[in-house]
């Protein structure tokens, strides 16, 4: 295999050179030098809050030279799961544990030779973050992986998901003398490990995770071991890959592809794998339960070139479009995706309906977040910064717009106005997921329930609110059929976690209930 350093294909930027920090014995002093506060976190634009955000992605490698380089590439492929910040911890037999944590994109930080040289060794883990728990602002202390020094050596941990009893655990740990360095729920795991009486770090991690409720895919490391764990319900994804003589753990298969690793298998719900250069040991420390994988991974979160449960994410999304066309046909001239997440479903809808597919909306690929704060006039243009209408294609047409979801509805209204301004005769929305009416507490940044359009309006009311000719969502059964469940949803024992649609939470959000959140009444 030929390995290209990321420096060769991603550009350099002139950011303050990071400070090398060895953590052995100084686990809470490893915060690297920071940019000025005004530059640490690029401002989000006015339209960025109308999509659900995955909390994070995790990646780990053991048994290869310069493991941190591979982790940086893996995180680059997982950037869609979190754009706020990223971090890498590595271990070298002589230099010990080293860490770098940065705000912003992987490409702007972990492509510099000066930084990557400070992360030597054959073992490394990394994390990209979009905050759900922890502070929303620029707080480097909340950026993972977290590190702890134990009597049997150091350990670092990176977590994808949300701990639903984190508040209760934090109160208990603080009362017993623990001192927290961050606002992240993930830090609870480190403190629980520290208080465990088990003999080694994997056993301490088991001990800690048995106290934890919610959803978690964890990638951790000791001086010699790479560890991966999924919660008993398997809500969040985690996969195993083989790279040369070494091994990799990743949130998605697309990150294995970028480093040339071979996909081996998914880590099973409730499984813990302990990996050394000698191989993989697997066991199941938790009580076995029926799997409840997050169905929204199929709809939106995962990259379309990833594989989930043996199924292509792209093909699943195309099939969602097919089901959507069968359930909600309409006479029209053009099927148009809302880029990029609506594209596979729009292709499926066009194929099934026989209505031509067209790129009626073009996305500015270079938009994303920016260090430039737009003027108020530009901000009021909102979505036009990111999307533009192909007027020549749209004018005079009855247009079906296919999107992955409707959250607050703000972006949908702006897109509709753009389509009408371009001269469309009719606008019909078709949504590739059921109405999002309930917040997610398992690692997705969902607005409060009252801010979700579907929580306060019927489908007809949403249609009137958006002022479109028609609005239809795929049914929950239709979504289940698209992901391979031919008989649809088993209401007695749902095959997936679909709480954001159904309000049926497989793990009670105990912290939120304490704060007054009312779960759906049993029918």
Distance CA 401, CA 359 (A): 10
Is 56 an active-site residue? yes
What is the distance of C-alpha 441 from the center of its chain?
13
Check residue 208 and give its pLDDT: 95
Report the pLDDT value the prediction gives residue 119, as an integer from 0 to 100.
98
- Of 345, 320, 519, nearest to 438 (Cα)? 519
6-34+55-290 CATH? 3.60.20.10
User: What's the confidence (pLDDT) of residue 341?
Assistant: 85
What local confidence, expressed as pLDDT, does residue 52 receive? 63
User: For position 39, what pLDDT does the model report?
Assistant: 34
SS3 call for 96:
strand
pLDDT value of position 54: 55
3-state DSSP assignment of residue 246: strand
Out of 56, 188, 254, 336, pick the active-site residue. Answer: 56
Domain 307-514 in this protein, CATH class: alpha beta
Predicted pLDDT at 3? 36
Crossing angle of helices 187-195 and 201-209, in 10° steps, is 120
The closest alpha carbon to 190, from 216, 163, 157, 223, belongs to 157
Cα gap 297→167, rounded to integer Å: 26
**The predicted structure's pLDDT at residue 387:** 86
pLDDT in tens, the chain (523 residues): 333 333 332 333 333 223 333 343 333 333 333 333 333 333 333 334 466 655 699 999 999 999 999 999 999 999 999 999 999 999 999 999 999 999 999 999 999 999 999 999 999 999 999 855 444 455 888 999 999 999 889 999 999 999 999 999 999 999 999 999 888 889 999 999 999 999 899 999 999 999 999 999 999 999 999 999 999 999 999 999 999 999 999 999 999 999 999 999 999 999 999 999 789 999 999 998 999 999 999 999 999 999 999 999 999 999 999 999 999 999 999 999 998 889 999 999 999 999 999 999 998 876 654 444 455 555 546 666 788 999 999 999 999 999 999 988 888 999 999 999 999 999 999 999 999 999 999 988 777 898 899 999 999 999 999 999 999 999 999 999 999 999 999 999 999 999 999 999 999 999 999 999 988 876 6
What are 477's two structure tokens?
Answer: 């059964």
Chain center to CA of 108 = 19
The pLDDT assigned to 50 comes to 60
The tokens describing 434, both together, are: 């059921």
This prediction's pTM: 0.86
* Terminal Cα distance for the chain, rounded: 57
- 336 torsion bin: left (phi>0), alpha (psi -120 to 50), beta (else): beta
The predicted pLDDT at position 219 comes to: 98
Please give the structure tokens belonging to residue 265: 């298998």
Length of the chain in terms of residues written: 523
Measured CA to CA, the distance from residue 215 to residue 271 in angstroms comes to 13
Q: Where in the chain is the domain with CATH 3.60.20.10?
A: 6-34+55-290
Q: Which residue has the tokens 């869609």?
A: 80
Q: Give the pLDDT confidence score for residue 448 in this predicted structure.
A: 86
Could you tell me where in the chain the CATH 3.40.50.2020 domains are found? 307-514
Q: Which residue has the tokens 């780990």?
A: 60
| 117: enclosing H helix or E strand | none
């Amino acid at each position: 295999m030929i390995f290209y350093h990321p420096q060769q294909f991603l550009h350099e930027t002139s950011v303050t050179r990071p400070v090398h920090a060895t953590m052995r014995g100084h686990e809470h002093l490893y915060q690297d030098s920071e940019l000025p506060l005004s530059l640490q976190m690029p401002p989000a634009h006015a339209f960025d809050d109308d999509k659900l955000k995955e909390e994070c992605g995790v990646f780990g490698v053991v048994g290869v030279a310069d493991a941190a380089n591979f982790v940086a590439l893996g995180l680059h492929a997982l950037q869609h799961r979190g754009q706020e910040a990223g971090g890498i911890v590595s271990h070298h037999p002589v230099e010990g544990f080293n860490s770098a944590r940065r705000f912003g994109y992987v490409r702007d930080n972990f492509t510099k030779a000066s930084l990557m040289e400070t992360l030597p060794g054959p073992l490394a883990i990394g994390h990209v973050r979009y905050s759900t728990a922890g502070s929303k602002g620029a707080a480097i202390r909340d950026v993972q992986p977290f590190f702890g020094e134990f009597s049997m050596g150091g350990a670092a941990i990176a977590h994808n998901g949300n701990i639903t009893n984190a508040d209760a655990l934090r109160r208990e740990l603080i009362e017993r003398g623990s001192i927290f360095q961050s606002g992240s729920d993930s830090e609870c795991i480190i403190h629980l490990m520290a208080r465990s009486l088990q003999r080694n770090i994997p056993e301490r991690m088991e001990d800690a995770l048995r106290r934890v409720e919610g959803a978690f895919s964890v990638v951790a490391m000791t001086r010699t071991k790479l560890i991966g764990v999924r919660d008993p319900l398997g809500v969040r994804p985690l996969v195993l890959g083989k790279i040369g003589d070494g091994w990799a753990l990743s949130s998605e298969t697309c990150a294995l592809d970028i480093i040339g690793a071979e996909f081996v298998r998914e880590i099973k719900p409730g499984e813990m794998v302990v990996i050394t250069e000698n191989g993989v040991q697997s066991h199941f420390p938790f009580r076995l339960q029926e799997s409840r994988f997050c169905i929204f991974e199929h709809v939106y979160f995962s990259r379309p070139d990833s594989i989930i449960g043996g199924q292509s994410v792209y093909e699943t999304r195309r099939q969602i479009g097919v089901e959507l066309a069968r359930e909600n046909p309409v006479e029209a001239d053009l099927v148009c995706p809302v880029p990029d997440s609506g594209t596979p479903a729009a292709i499926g809808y066009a194929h099934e309906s026989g209505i031509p597919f067209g790129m009626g909306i073009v996305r500015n690929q270079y938009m994303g977040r920016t260090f430039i704060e737009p003027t108020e006039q530009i901000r009021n243009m909102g979505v036009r910064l990111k999307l533009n209408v192909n007027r020549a294609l749209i004018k005079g047409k009855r247009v079906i717009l296919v999107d992955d979801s409707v959250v607050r509805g703000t972006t949908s209204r702006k897109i509709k106005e753009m389509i009408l301004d371009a001269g469309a005769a009719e606008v019909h929305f078709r949504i590739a997921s059921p109405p999002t009416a309930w917040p997610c507490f398992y690692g997705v940044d969902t607005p409060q329930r009252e801010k979700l359009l579907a929580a306060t309006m019927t489908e007809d009311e949403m249609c009137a609110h958006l002022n479109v000719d028609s609005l239809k969502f795929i049914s929950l059964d239709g979504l289940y059929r698209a992901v391979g469940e031919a008989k649809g949803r088993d209401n007695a024992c749902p095959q997936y976690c679909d709480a954001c649609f159904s309000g049926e939470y497989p793990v009670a959000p105990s912290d939120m209930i304490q704060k007054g959140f009312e779960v759906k009444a049993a029918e």
